[in-house]
Amino acid sequence: MISFENPNREDPLPGETEPRAKAAARLLEETQIFKDYQSAFRKATGLPLAIRPIQSYENALAGKPDENEFCRLVGRTNMGCANCIKMQEQLEQEAGLEPRSLHCFAGLCDTAVPIRVGDQLIAFLQTGQVLLHRPEESEFSHATKQILKWGSEVNLKELREAYFNTKVLDRGQYEAMIALLSTFAEHLATISNSIAVEESETDPTLVVNAKNYINRRYQDQISLNDAARAVNASTRHFCKIFKQATRITFTDYLSRVRIEKAKTLLANRNFLVSEIAFEVGFESISQFNRSFKRITGQSPTEFRRKREL
What pTM was computed for the model?
A: 0.71
Quick check: 13 and 243 in contact, CB under 8 A?
yes
How is residue 197 annotated by DSSP?
T
The residue among 199, 201, 234 whose CA lies nearest residue 213 is 199
234-246 residue pLDDT tens: 999 999 999 988 8
- Where does a domain end: 164, 195, 226? 195
156-205 residue pLDDT tens: 899 999 999 999 999 999 999 999 999 999 888 888 777 777 766 778 99
Give pLDDT, residue 199: 65
Residue 249: give its domain's CATH number. Answer: 1.10.10.60
Q: What letters, b where the CB count within 10 A reaches 16 and e where it falls short, cover 214-231?
A: beeebeeebbbbbbbebb
Q: Is residue 24 part of a domain?
A: no
- 149 and 263 housed in the same domain: no
- 182 and 127 housed in the same domain: yes
- 226 and 301 housed in the same domain: yes
- Where does a domain end: 163, 195, 227? 195
- Where does a domain end: 161, 195, 229? 195
What is the number of structural domains in the chain?
A: 2
Instruction: Give the best-scoring range by mean pLDDT among 61-65, 120-124, 254-258.
Output: 254-258
Q: How far apart are the C-alpha atoms of 196 and 173, rounded to whole Å?
A: 34
- Dihedral sign (CA 124, 127, 131, 132): negative
Residue 84, φ and ψ in degrees, nearest 5: -65, -45
Quick check: 115 and 123 in contact, CB under 8 A?
yes
- 183 and 222 housed in the same domain: no
